[in-house]
Amino acid sequence: MKFTDYLIFGLYMAGVLSIGVYHFIKNKSTEDYYVGNRNVKAHHVGLSIVATDVGGGFSIGLGGVGFLMGLAGSWLLFTGLVGAWLTAVFIIPLIKKVDVSEGMMTYPDFLRFRYNDKVALAAAAISGIGYLGFTGAQMLAGAKLASATILQTNPWGMDPILFSLLIIAVITILYTVIGGLKAVIYTDTVQWMILLVGLIAVTIPVTLAKIGGIEALKMHLPREFFSLGNIKAVTFVNWMVTIIPIWLVGMTLYQRMYACKDEKEAKKAWFLAGLFEYPVMAFTGVFLGMCARVVFPGAEAEMALPMLIRDMLPIGVTGIVIASYFSAIMSTADSCMMASSGNFTNDILEKYFFPNLPMKKSVRLSMLVTLVIGVTAVTLAAQFTMVLDAILYAYSFMVSGLFIPTLGAYFWKRGTSKGALTGMIGGGGLTLLMMVNLIKPPAFLQGTGLDFSVYGIVVSAVLYISVSLLSRNES
């Protein structure tokens, strides 16, 4: 990269921070900070949703699966289309009937409304920890991108990925801490448009021209890379089971539901998000991963796409496209920090340790918690090597404990607080124990390749249903 590219990148980051400062001045309450005062337009929310869900982790991860399996990797984001549209049809009409009247600002607020405080507390802990890990995954994505492009060396001789991780963390944490949800949503809108233009209008045509077009891809890549069927059935099942349920339990998504002024605006936002995820971003990401494999066949899968951007694009354009990828990374990292912060601040600290805080102190507490979460996420990020693995681990833990009790909260009147609490602890706990190898799948299922979340969801369902039927209906 040349000086022009660094200048463009620096100006972009300064612009992002300025949006955070602007909304810091505008924020007057925790409702402003966490749900944007419930008056954000559908197109802003929709683009923010897809920027958050796809973000840096899935952007870098998509390039990686495209590198490894070709067009079939696009099924990873088909989950986004299904999850978004199911939510729009079945969930949004129900949640928008109660969110304003009940003053809801977080996902556990809904579970408190349907069950009780204990269930909400358990959900807040599971969600907060899950989003903490997810935030770390996004920062790792940013570190991989930076270490392959703008921060290949540093004056202190630090490992490039570690040094990049620290730089990305400082920028993302700063504007998220000071700006709140509106800063996140409005920067997401701009960032996502930059990402789409950078990838579709610039990176794809320039790369194809330099490598010799589609024919060069066909010549250098295996034939199966051009088939949507180049995917194992168990991989497809794992993606569907692990990712689609997150649309029902994702704290970032509930914040955006609450941020929409009414049901109509929220539905528009979710339908828009689904279309941008699949087919738009799904095929863009995997196709670029395929191009990266032609240029860097021996590279680590998730590093090939950043290297492609670094080496293939002309001066000036490189800075724009690098900024666009960082936009996706920060779009997800900031939202995940806000989600985890909301869980710990609103659902735990202010409910049990600091009740009745004055408004100004409440906002400051929210900012402090967001800062601590960001710093903790950096520490977690340093423990992983693959971005997609970190994301799917976080998702597995969250959906295993939260999906079934939340589904029951909407659609099964006989579900009880005891059943929900037991299902959360049992499903989430089992998945966590399997992740750290303290429990293994049953012998007859070992070797099937099923994700840990499959076992966690099944156990959660059994516990939730059986305990609910055996206990008095408390709802």
pLDDT greater at residue 473 or residue 467 = 467
Task: With 0.75 as the threshold, say if the pTM is over it.
Answer: yes
Distances (CA, A) of 313 to 207, 288, 308: 7, 13, 8
Note the pLDDT of residue 24.
Answer: 64
Mean pLDDT of 38-52: 83
Determine contact, residues 202/320, Cβ cutoff 8 Å: yes
User: Which domains are delineated in the chain?
Assistant: 3-386 (1.20.1730.10)
Query: Whose structure tokens read 């724009």?
Result: 320
Q: Which of 407, 446, 408, 399 is nearest to 427 (CA)?
A: 399
Q: Which amino acid is at 396?
A: S
- Predicted confidence (pLDDT) per residue in 200-241, tens digit: 888 899 899 999 999 999 999 999 999 999 999 999 999 999
Question: Where is mean pLDDT largest: 33-42, 169-178, 363-372?
Answer: 363-372
CA-CA-CA-CA torsion for 235, 241, 244, 250, nearest 10 degrees? -120
User: Lowest-confidence range among 117-131, 151-165, 177-191?
Assistant: 177-191
Whether 474 shows a pLDDT value over 60: the answer reads: no
User: Lowest-confidence range among 42-51, 64-73, 91-100, 374-383?
Assistant: 374-383
The neighbouring-strand residues paired with 466 are none
Question: Is residue 260 helix, strand or coil?
Answer: strand
The neighbouring-strand residues paired with 40 are 260
- Predicted confidence (pLDDT) per residue in 352-398, tens digit: 888 888 877 887 888 888 888 888 888 877 777 666 777 788 889 99
Mean pLDDT of 311-322: 78
Note the pLDDT of residue 252.
Answer: 82
Q: Which of 336, 343, 342, 340 is nearest to 124 (CA)?
A: 343
Note the pLDDT of residue 177.
Answer: 67
- Predicted confidence (pLDDT) per residue in 433-461, tens digit: 999 899 999 888 888 999 999 999 999 99
Note the pLDDT of residue 27.
Answer: 60
- Round the average pLDDT of the chain to a whole number and report it: 85
- CA distance linking residue 423 with residue 435, whole number of Å: 18
Note the pLDDT of residue 184.
Answer: 67
